[in-house]
Structure 1
Amino acid sequence: MKLGVIGCGKMGSALVGGAIRAKAVSAGDVLGYDPFPASAEAFTETTGASTVAEIGGLSGCDTFLLCTKPHQAEAALRQLADGGASGALLISVAAGLSIDWLQSHSPAGFRVVRCMPNTPALVGEGAAAFALGTEASSDDASAARSLLGSVGIAHEVPESLLDAVTGLSGSGPAFAFLMIEALADGGVRCGLPRAQALELAAQTLRGAATMVLETGDHPAVLKDRVASPGGTTIAGLAAMEAGGVRDALIEAVTMAAQRSAELGKA
């Protein structure tokens, strides 16, 4: 794989850095482009890959990672075509740009994969999904899975489910941050120092998530193992149910997914 990265910000750097660490690609086979010299320099320092001064300098690559802002994508793809690029794979993480849009604006013969990563990819704990364009192959799916999976997990889904992915794992970190903050506030209310409460809350959520992923047990089963009859945990769970926490989280994912669909249509 000869990988060209269009947009060398935090997400592009995280994905490329993860792919290099996982040996999915070597630093010598990666070229990046960013209109901001500081971002290009940081990309090189972070990943060890080289950058070019113009998008046309990426035209020899066989795979492209599109990490621009959505409103920058059309000009970037036009410049890529003007530089002679054709017949390559385009993996797009540009929010809201549909497969149809990407296919109609990409250089001739490009195959398209549309992805939805999330910000924990920046620390190697991402949860992503991707959808294949009409001309993309199983090898293209493997390339996307390898790239996204190098910084977490990656699932292939139909494009129609990417809004649901956006609501769940795309927006989900913000919901988790709110829960961590609230748990820490509860600890402070009960007398813990702020710093200790915050660390305990964050580690508790990380530990609980790791148990779900590593045991394969349903969260309800794990919950019931903690909640002994007449104990502290069941008292707290009753308070959460009375406060509508479960319904609020379901509604948060649903509303975020609906807003993603609205933005995509716009």
Structure 2
Amino acid sequence: MGMTRIAIIGGGKIGEALIAGLRDGGWPPQDLVVVETGEARAAELKDRYSIMTSDLAIAAEGAQVIVVAVKPNDVPGVIDKVDEAISDSVHEAVVVSLAAGVPTEAIESRLSAGSPVVRVMPNTAMLVGEGTSAICKGRFARGEHIDLVRKMMGSVGATVEVTESQMDAVTALSGSGPAYFFLLAEAMIEAGVEQGIPRKTAETLVLGTAKGAGAMLAAGGDGPTALRAAVTSPGGTTAAALRAFESGGLRATVYGAVSACKERSAALADEVREQMIDELSADQT
């Protein structure tokens, strides 16, 4: 692995998680550079991972992959600086956006014509190396760009390739998905406390159960339906609990939650797209 220089713009939690995954996977430190405006934070990342730090112009100019790991509102300004840095570069650079809700079209509109863009929707589990990242390519990205991004994001978990039209649904399933499991765990802990179990004990039971159930699902083979059936004896305790879930409308609630998340994601993406394109048009007049 190596010889592909990666510039990561943004040294927050997501940026650091990617750096950590790449270093743990053997990516050479000389091929990684981070752009972080906070001097103390930049020094921390440099010391912790033995990587280079630089300003955006220098980092982007020498990189084959430029990862944008900043908040959506900061993307327009960052992309403009990236375009300035790579417009005269002797090699092609692929811009990889980890910013939620920013369509490839909006990024392409602020880059030189033909610039390859790849969009990634990660989730917070990448902080512990167990993320699930959905990847889609822009108009000018090629197969080798996708392969490279999948290798890069594979350092922090699993990857899938989707179309951009599916990204809002992806956000609703995996991007926001960890919060759904956290909410269920929170509710189970509170239910245990209500039944007289000490809170610390309830937390240990629920978090251990979540870890074990997740491992069983991740092991492959039987899917969730078969696994659920295997622990549900007719007329037993689990069956009683599942009846309560079903009578409470669990499935309908999940369907509604995913649909609401997808609709909100689409609305935010439209807002970001219009904002970035409108700002560019204003700059050009």
TM-score computed with the length of structure 2 as normaliser = 0.88
* Aligned-pair CA distance for 1:30: 0.5
In 1, distance between residues paired with 2:86 and 2:242?
Answer: 60
Count of residue correspondences: 264
Which residue number corresponds to residue 80 of structure 1? 82
Which residue number corresponds to residue 258 of structure 2? 253
Cα pair 1:92 1:115 within 8 Å, conserved: yes
Which residue number corresponds to residue 275 of structure 2? none
1:230 paired to 2:235:
yes
Q: After the TM superposition, which segments of 4 or more aligned residues of structure 1 sit over 4 Å from their partners?
A: none
In structure 2, what residue type is equivalent to 1:36? G
Which residue number corresponds to residue 57 of structure 2? 56
1:21 paired to 2:24:
yes
In 2, distance between residues paired with 1:81 and 1:73?
Answer: 12
In structure 2, what residue type is equivalent to 1:7? G
* Aligned-pair CA distance for 1:51: 0.6
Q: Secondary structure at the match of 2:109?
A: helix
TM-aligned CA distance change 1:99 to 1:11, over 3 Å: same
In structure 1, what residue type is equivalent to 2:246? E
In 1, distance between residues paired with 2:112 and 2:33?
Answer: 18
Which residue number corresponds to residue 93 of structure 1? 98
In structure 1, what residue type is equivalent to 2:124? T
Q: Secondary structure at the match of 1:215?
A: coil
Cα pair 1:17 1:46 within 8 Å, conserved: no
| Percentage of pairs with the same residue | 37
Q: Secondary structure at the match of 1:130?
A: strand
Which residue number corresponds to residue 35 of structure 2? 33
Q: Secondary structure at the match of 2:233?
A: coil
1:70 paired to 2:72:
yes
In structure 1, what residue type is equivalent to 2:198? P
Of residues 165, 188, 191, the one that matches 2:170 is 165
* Aligned-pair CA distance for 1:32: 0.9
In 2, distance between residues paired with 1:127 and 1:84?
Answer: 30
In 1, distance between residues paired with 2:160 and 2:10?
Answer: 23
TM-aligned CA distance change 1:131 to 1:174, over 3 Å: same
* Aligned-pair CA distance for 1:101: 1.0
TM-aligned CA distance change 1:192 to 1:45, over 3 Å: farther
Q: Which moved more, 1:165-174 or 1:214-223?
A: 214-223
* Aligned-pair CA distance for 1:56: 0.9
1:164-203 maps to which residues of 2 (within 5 A)? 164-203=169-208
Cα deviations by residue, 1:122-170 (Å, 9 ceiling, x for unpaired): 0111111010112212111111111212111110000000101101111
In 2, distance between residues paired with 1:251 and 1:177?
Answer: 18
Cα pair 1:8 1:34 within 8 Å, conserved: yes
* Aligned-pair CA distance for 1:255: 0.8
In 2, distance between residues paired with 1:158 and 1:215?
Answer: 25
In 2, distance between residues paired with 1:184 and 1:171?
Answer: 21
Which runs of no fewer than 5 residues in structure 1 stay unpaired?
A: none
TM-aligned CA distance change 1:56 to 1:168, over 3 Å: same
In 1, distance between residues paired with 2:145 and 2:205?
Answer: 41
* Aligned-pair CA distance for 1:38: 2.9
